[in-house]
Amino acid sequence: MTKGLELSLVIPTYNDWEPLKACLASVAGQIDPPCFEVIVVDDGSDREPREMLKDRPASHELRICRQPHSGVAAARNYGLKLARSDQVLFLDADCQLERSCLKTLVEAMGRFPGEQWFQLRIDSEPCSLVGCAEALRLQAIQEQRRDSHGTIRWLNTAGFAIRLAAQDRVRDLFEAWAIRGQDTLLLLRLLQKNVLPRYVPSALVFHHVALGPWRYMCKRFLSSYRETGARLRFHRGCDTRLGAANRAAVLAHMWRLARTKPAGRAAFCLLLGRRLMRALGHLSFRIVRYSRCGLERRRLESSKIS
């Protein structure tokens, strides 16, 4: 650990330089921040980083590292190995920090020296219908999944911090083989250890979703399809999903929140469509997997007969 360095920020990016510019501006604009560094991991983008990203603000060090295109999980693992602080914050390139976020996070990590995992509060700016839907979904999930002990049964790598143990320097934290659902897999690993992340609601990260409603729902279908495969491959008797009663409670809470927000009812309807696409993605993977297993079984049977 570099002396005096309190925090390392790891930001993976792939062909999204414009959102990253806004992200870095929010980082540079922090009020009374701790001593920190920023590590941008370029996951084999089609273009080299623009000149604007090579400017190094006087307030912190900015390192831009490049790797062959291997996925966001591999990029986070690479950035983690390059971090020079034992406290690391993971951000997405399309996120922006509230102005006192870093200060609040480091203070919270200092209050809980025996804990390793910290989940920041994630929000979305309601500047579009999709933004309203995401803000509604994120608020309801975080309010329903936090507990009285200050932890939360939820993990989102758009704003997630870790205090490194010695072994974390040499092993991969994220499953690089998983195209989607790396945060879900990490939460499953924590649940196996009966550990939940410490929730830091006063450290706020805004996640910007630049998608239209149709693309938003299609992305949920593809994510659900891929996450189902990752979950089945990793599953060891733990599950991050809520039971039917809890899912109904989250939906009811979303509806109550929607009634108090502008465009809230339209956003709620969009979230119902998103949930349907998630269910379809899950079902589609099961059907494809079952069909492949059946074909393989018939192939083996025919080979035995011959």
Question: Is-contact 63 37, C-beta < 8 A?
Answer: yes
Q: Which residue has the higher pLDDT, 102 or 242?
A: 102
Q: pTM for the complete prediction?
A: 0.87
Q: What is the mean pLDDT of residues 5-32?
A: 92
Strand partners, 206: 96, 123
CATH of domain 7-305: 3.90.550.10
Both tokens assigned to 237: 């008797």
For the chain, what are the domain ranges? 7-305
| pLDDT at 271 exceeding the cut of 80 | yes
Closest alpha carbon to 11 in 159, 165, 187, 205: 159
At 124-165, the pLDDT tens digits run 988 889 889 999 999 999 999 999 999 999 999 999 999 987
Q: Comparing 92-96, 159-163, 296-300, which segment has the lowest mean pLDDT?
A: 296-300
Give every CB contact of residue 38 below 8 A, 6+ residues apart in sequence: 8, 9, 11, 24, 27, 60, 61, 62, 63
Strands, sheet with 159-163, edge to edge from the N-terminal-most edge strand: 61-67, 36-43, 7-13, 87-91, 159-163, 117-123, 198-207, 95-97
The arithmetic mean of pLDDT across residues 237-248, rounded, is 63
Residue 90 DSSP symbol? E
Greatest C-alpha distance within the chain:
75
Weakest mean pLDDT among 103-112, 167-176, 233-242, 268-277: 233-242
